Structure 1
């Protein structure tokens, strides 16, 4: 019943008051941190509380095909970069390998595409993507190093993920390509806000 009410409401950014935004963020943070909110236990729904994508309630669905620009939920393969990201607090705990939460990103490149990472940003097949200039350091001044520089061909079974929402996202600019089998679902916004913490 509550989900029916939530999904039937379409709140625009203009119509949403500052108080409503704060209430939504507080609800998302509270339920996610506690882990006991019953909405999080409903199959197919999740809260996103990281500013790489809009904050709020999202719905997951089975993968219908891998297409550039599609928002997906994915588990990150464990590596030294991922362990460092975990220690820095970039990643939350969850149900993926290593007790990490799935990330939410857009598919930027698929097998056969060429990705170039430079000081100008990420280019796919020569097309520069907006908001993708790699950061030299995180918000605490700790160095950030791109996964690679120059051209890299995306091979069979690989995918390059990025946030087209926040330029400070922790995405494939820093952890590189991931196996396509690590994509667990498509994901669509249900009730979200475009409010971001300062710096994102």
Structure 2
């Protein structure tokens, strides 16, 4: 056996060992992610709420004003258009979008007035100014004012660039996954 042949065999053993370590690490990572998802943990990568790790906490009552929720958006033409514009990330909700993290600002029976900003039952919602264009200069149309219908909630985020009910209107409460609880987050 030549010296070169022994080196090739040693490298092959090292490569096998390295490949085994990488495979085990990948398996551990996949199991950890699967366990986290099954436990209701999600990572928020959008600026609508603080970035980081969140948990979906079961909601055993109807949604109320000021609840911060994880919610799946309905599969409507407006939501498909928003997805095409890149407003929603990929995820596990219908339409292959990620759940939204938004605050409930109105529930069934409340009157939402949309003008330069949003008012609910005559009281202005802070940080609710409307944008006429998105970050890429495309026009945004506000949702018409009206009463939130039974079985729906009106959502909001204080982040100025948030795409929320100001633009897509009330959403079915049936899409609520649970309350959004911060685990480890930060604001850049």
Matched residue of 1:86: which SS? helix
Residue 86 of structure 1 deviates from its aligned partner by: 0.7
After superposition, residues 93-132 of structure 1 pair within 5 angstroms as: 93-119=90-116, 121-132=117-128
- How far does the alpha carbon of each residue in 1:29-72 deviate from its partner, in whole angstroms, 9 at most, with x for none? xxxxxx95834641111100010111111111111331111110
After superposition, residues 180-199 of structure 1 pair within 5 angstroms as: 180-195=173-188
Matched residue of 1:138: which SS? coil
Q: 1:158 to 1:36 in 2, by over 3 A?
A: same
> Match for residue 164 of structure 2?
171
> Match for residue 70 of structure 2?
73
Give unmatched runs, 5+ long, in structure 1.
1-34, 196-200
TM-score calculated relative to the size of structure 2: 0.79
CA contact (8 A) 1:68 1:108 kept: yes
Residue 100 of structure 1 deviates from its aligned partner by: 1.1
Pick the structure with greater CA Rg. Answer: 2
CA contact (8 A) 2:106 2:148 kept: yes
CA contact (8 A) 2:135 2:161 kept: no
Residue 76 of structure 1 deviates from its aligned partner by: 0.7
Matched residue of 1:169: which SS? coil
Alignment partners' CA distance in 2, 1:89 and 1:182: 20
Matched residue of 1:38: which SS? helix
Q: 1:141 to 1:39 in 2, by over 3 A?
A: same
Q: 1:107 to 1:40 in 2, by over 3 A?
A: farther
| Deviation >6 Å, runs of 4+ | none
Alignment partners' CA distance in 2, 1:37 and 1:47: 16
Of 139, 144, 147, which residue of structure 1 is paired with 2:140? 144
CA RMSD for the aligned pairs? 1.6
CA contact (8 A) 2:93 2:99 kept: yes
Alignment partners' CA distance in 1, 2:126 and 2:187: 17
Higher helix share: 2
CA contact (8 A) 1:122 1:133 kept: yes
> Match for residue 26 of structure 2?
none
Matched residue of 1:186: which SS? strand
Q: 1:40 to 1:68 in 2, by over 3 A?
A: farther
Alignment partners' CA distance in 2, 1:73 and 1:61: 9
